[in-house]
Amino acid sequence: MEEQENRSEESQSGENGDAANEHKLTGPFAIQFAPNAIIWQEARKLISDKNIRVEDLATCCAQDPVLVIELLKSANAMFFSVGRSPITSAKVAIVRLGSDTVLSIFEKINERVQVDDEDVLHWIEHHRSRCQRTSIIARVFAEAIARTLADDAQAAGLLLNIGEMLATQHLGRQYVELAEELKRSGVNYRLSNDFKFDVEKMGATYLRRNGIPEALLFAIDRDAMNRSQERAVLRPLVQAASELVEAFDNNRWEKLAPGKNLPSKSAIRLLQLDEGQYLKIYERASEYLFSARLLEEKNKQKAISNNFDDNSSPIAVGLSSVQEALQDEIFDLLGGGSEEKSEQKENAPTSNAVRPSTQITEIQAELIDPSDQFKLSPKNKAEKTAPRANKPAQQIVAPALATRGKGTKIVSDLANLIEDASSSEEVITNILAKLVDQGPFEKTALIVVSKDRKNAIVVASRGPGMGNGLKLELKDPLSPLAKCFSKVQSFGNKSNEASPFGSKAFALSPIDADHETPVALYADCGNDASITFEARRIFRTVVDILNRRLPSLPGGIPVELK
């Protein structure tokens, strides 16, 4: 009883001290962010349940940097004076504060005024989402190389980009204009030069003035000193997580794939991961980031399709479904994932939106041009009855995918189909059909590139909107099709110029066909749909098996031009 009274007195004195400090703050440092309405309501519901586990409440709170800042601020203000070590995670803060104090903190946070400008609010939520994703990826890294620091890594990752939230709310419309015009790096450069607002330094100062302990801040502030050798890995770990999220958002995810040469200044290099560790981290990060993006797109579609009243808030649209998805997503990913839910996400129906205009033109002249740039004329097509490889091909065994179910069966069936084929024309034709009929793709095509790499032609295709004989003008000499290299674009906000058909997401890879000019296999899940992580692996696995098998088969490529 006496201890409870002391705790209450410390809490009251800590809150009074915090109020005094907040009163002295001016400018951007006086900003008090409003919480995310969905996460706050879910956390408020959990704290009222006396049977809920602390881990569940901490997991929910760890999705919003605003809640974590207030929990760490209050917990450290109460307990730091009695000589305890600093509190650096939401879970420990909740345990130290107790349910009554946490409930009081939540109620005070809910009194904060939400931003009125919808555009400013959009960018605040955008940065909040980035904080959330960085924190989860940081935890994935920590569970692989420093399990004891997993909670701290998640907290540090969550606070890493708080400076951008600060800039958005402080500058308002000025920030929106920059963000709509420039990329993230360009925005931060302009903020530093035009407004003297360094997002990293301002964010670190804001956190320091809000009572975040140095044990976490050193992982965020590049100029801060680390006083503990055991925690030194936190800084490169959090920076590596930010690097992965940055690459994903900028559609450069494939450049950080296992086996690729990492940039010389990459924070991932500092972690000195072996191939097995990085492969596991990359796969878990991919599953989370792609599922999070698909969930975000799904919620956007629901928000657009719902006809809500004038008095209803956009934040409240689909509140219950988003709450359930939020908890399920985090618990499943940190626990290894649910096969059933993963399959449901990957088998989500694709959009039937109108196909955007692209640079495809139908051939008006004869399909075989006089210069025979594609080497498709009958005089060049000698009958190929013998395989290129003299030695017998080894039996092909389909590699198992990380997720079981439909994807594994498709790969197994395709591997058997490739193994049993008697000619290259037969196997390519069957693969084009199989990827559409039983696979995850909506369209497939076999594309032949001209000798000068300025044009390409579809010689065989399957799926809606495709047509044999479509001629593609390759205006960009560095495009994946012109350079004949593999490219998998899993998601895009607009029509991708690198796609031969203008799709937002697509998969393209050269195949080792016996033809005089380059040949590529193309697939997508629709012009507006994303390519799931399993669909990417199916495509890559099939191309790998196909390229190993083709040299041992007689024949060329199927040409279905009329």
Residue 472: pLDDT over 90: no
pTM of the full structure: 0.57
Neighbours of 308 (CB within 10 A): 12
| pLDDT tens track for 79-138 | 755 556 889 999 999 998 998 999 999 999 999 998 999 999 999 999 999 999 999 999
* Element (DSSP H or E) covering residue 360: strand 360-362
What average pLDDT does the segment 25-43 reach? Answer: 88
pLDDT bucket at 382, cuts 50 / 70 / 90 = low
Residue 269: pLDDT over 80: yes
**Distance, CA of 229 to CA of 264 (rounded, Å):** 24
Q: What pLDDT shows up at residue 503?
A: 82
Q: What pLDDT shows up at residue 522?
A: 92
Q: What pLDDT shows up at residue 7?
A: 43
pLDDT bucket at 357, cuts 50 / 70 / 90 = very low
Report in angstroms the alpha-carbon separations of 543 from 257, 427, 471, 510, 539. 17, 12, 23, 8, 6
Residue 237: pLDDT over 60: yes
Share of the chain above pLDDT 90, in %: 36
What average pLDDT does the segment 377-384 reach? Answer: 55
Highest mean predicted confidence (pLDDT) among 68-82, 181-195, 369-383 = 181-195
Q: Which of 122, 208, 216, 168 is nearest to 28 (CA)?
A: 168
Write down the residue that tokens 């990417």 correspond to: 536
Q: What pLDDT shows up at residue 9?
A: 43
Q: What pLDDT shows up at residue 284?
A: 92
pLDDT bucket at 160, cuts 50 / 70 / 90 = very high
Q: What pLDDT shows up at residue 159?
A: 95
Residue 514: pLDDT over 90: no
What average pLDDT does the segment 447-465 reach? Answer: 87
What average pLDDT does the segment 327-356 reach? Answer: 47
Task: Catalogue all structural domains in the chain, each as residue range(s) with its CATH number.
Answer: 2-304+317-336 (1.10.3210.10), 360-552 (3.30.450.40)
DSSP string, 124-181: HHHHHHHHHHHHHHHHHHHHHH-GGGHHHHHHHHHHTTHHHHHHHHHHTHHHHHHHHH
Question: Mean pLDDT across the chain, nearest whole number?
Answer: 79
Q: Are 14 and 82 in contact (CB under 8 A)?
A: no
Q: What pLDDT shows up at residue 223?
A: 85
Residue 481: pLDDT over 50: yes
What average pLDDT does the segment 141-163 reach? Answer: 93
